[in-house]
Structure 1
Amino acid sequence: MLSLFCTSMARGGQFSDSVKVYNAGINGNNTVNLLARIDRDVLRRNPELVVLMVGTNDMLHTDKSLGMEQYEKNYQELISCLKKKADLVLMTIPPVYAPYLVQRKPQFKGDLKAPQARVDSANMVIRRLAAKNNCKLVDLNTILTACGGANTDKESLFQNEANMGIADGVHPTANGYKVIAAAVYETIKDCKPGVKSVVCFGDSITKGYRMQGEGKTEGDSYPAVLQRMLNQHL
């Protein structure tokens, strides 16, 4: 699966050398935080396209987790605000490695099924809202699960003790970000091939936690890889 997406990254496309991608990811953000900064970090840039991924902290953060009803309400508000100004691509949130999470998240009380169940519930909301609002959807969870999901292997697309020296299980590796960028690239190529400006809006997964160039569009985060792809510099 990884080789399939990496092959797609090398193909020529219909994009010019002037596509600008903005990395609007911030560590620890949930839907409440995104709503609070949507004008400053997204709308003032007048993007043609916004790629939205949010929900990991709404589901898993010890202090910022929300009930499903509030999460859906906030997510719909984000969609409504963004669609007034730009085209919108939604992404489901990635799978997680539950044993790491239950070690450091007291709210799960050692229940290994609980973290992924929360992620799955959020993704049901995202898929439903994508259909309801006629938004393009990148089913990132399905893609990354097909690539092996989050596990403890050194080759995992998620940060773990074997590849990054950290019991993370939530944030992608550099190779994981290549897969994400390729999936977004293929969607943009299909739905908006002449795009000139893209804002990637989200939390630490968008920001590129622990990656080279974290929070920027140079380095290994998915917005950085996406910008290179759109400008055909890979």
Structure 2
Amino acid sequence: MKYMMTTIARFLVLTIVFAACNTEKKENTDNSADTSVAASKPSVSSKRTILFFGNSLTAGYGLDDPSQSFSGLIQKRIDSLGLDYKVVNAGVSGETTSGGNSRIDWVLKNPLDVFVLELGGNDGLRGIPVTETRKNLQAIIDKVKAKYPDAKLVLAGMQMPPSMGSQYTGEFRKLYKEIADKNNVKLIPFLLEGVGGEVKLNQKDGIHPTAEGHKIVAENVWEVLKDVL
């Protein structure tokens, strides 16, 4: 009887040990599987940001869909090329360089890698002194560089119609190149090249490009931006 009890006890112990080993083996197999699955998942890297900071031209005023704006078209181009960038449209209709200088601190709360500055057109149409426009554009650039020193900057140049007077239009035209040279930033010589003054490429106000006009503007921007990305 004593022998039988001992045998049963040994059998129970072996059963428990065997079950424990199987459980541990299953857990190890499951863990290995989990590790294998985790390792096979591609790491999701956050895309770098291109911020377009401007007025109604950037915002896409008058278009049926914001994606038709030149900044939206730039995003489509980037996606088609498989580049790891996302475009942020920070255009506000009616914005002057003064308003932009007041707004930029709030905008810079979000990280950026490329900053495209498109302001000054409304200054020119309102006849604001070029010295004032220069001061505000420089202040915006200084703030961007201070917050994100590694960011790449692009400045979109603008020109004024002859109706603003030869002296004013001449000073305004030179303004953008001088700022670009001073700050060593890329320059789009004239954002509306091939569009400004072309009736069929502008809306009824004669100022804002149509969807077709924005396609040309996007090409003007891409010609410079492609070397920056």
Q: Taking structure 1 as the reference length, what is the TM-score of the superposition?
A: 0.56
Amino acid at match of 1:113: S
Say whether the 8 Å CA contact 1:88–1:136 is kept in structure 2. Answer: yes
| Cα gap change, 1:81 to 1:169, in 2 (>3 Å) | same
Q: How many residue pairs were aligned?
A: 152
After superposing on structure 2, the runs of 4+ consecutive aligned residues of structure 1 that deviate more than 3 Å are 9-15, 115-120
| Cα gap change, 1:191 to 1:19, in 2 (>3 Å) | closer
Amino acid at match of 1:149: G
Say whether the 8 Å CA contact 1:90–1:135 is kept in structure 2. Answer: yes
* 1:1-234 alignment runs, 5 A limit: 15-16=82-83, 18-41=84-107, 43-61=108-126, 65-84=127-146, 85=148, 86-93=151-158, 96=161, 113-114=163-164, 118-141=168-191, 144=193, 147=194, 149-152=196-199, 155=200, 157-159=201-203, 166=204, 168-192=205-229
SS at match of 1:20: strand
Say whether the 8 Å CA contact 1:95–1:150 is kept in structure 2. Answer: no
Distance between the aligned counterparts of 2:121 and 2:227, measured in 1? 27
Distance between the aligned counterparts of 1:113 and 1:135, measured in 2? 30
* Higher helix content, 1 or 2: 2
Say whether the 8 Å CA contact 1:60–1:115 is kept in structure 2. Answer: no
Any idea what the Cα deviations from partners look like across 1:138-178, whole Å, max 9, x if unmatched?
1125x61xx263143xx3x222xxxxxx2x12111112211
| Cα gap change, 1:38 to 1:11, in 2 (>3 Å) | closer
Unaligned runs of 5+ in 2: 1-72
| Cα gap change, 1:11 to 1:87, in 2 (>3 Å) | closer
Q: State the partner residue of 1:216.
A: none
Q: What do you get for the CA RMSD once the two structures are aligned?
A: 2.8
Amino acid at match of 2:99: N
Distance between the aligned counterparts of 1:77 and 1:174, measured in 2? 32
Q: CA deviation at 1:83?
A: 2.4
Q: CA deviation at 1:119?
A: 4.6
Unaligned runs of 5+ in 1: 1-5, 97-111, 160-165, 193-234
Amino acid at match of 2:135: K
| Cα gap change, 1:148 to 1:32, in 2 (>3 Å) | closer
Q: CA deviation at 1:28?
A: 0.9
Amino acid at match of 2:181: A
Q: Which has the larger radius of gyration?
A: 2
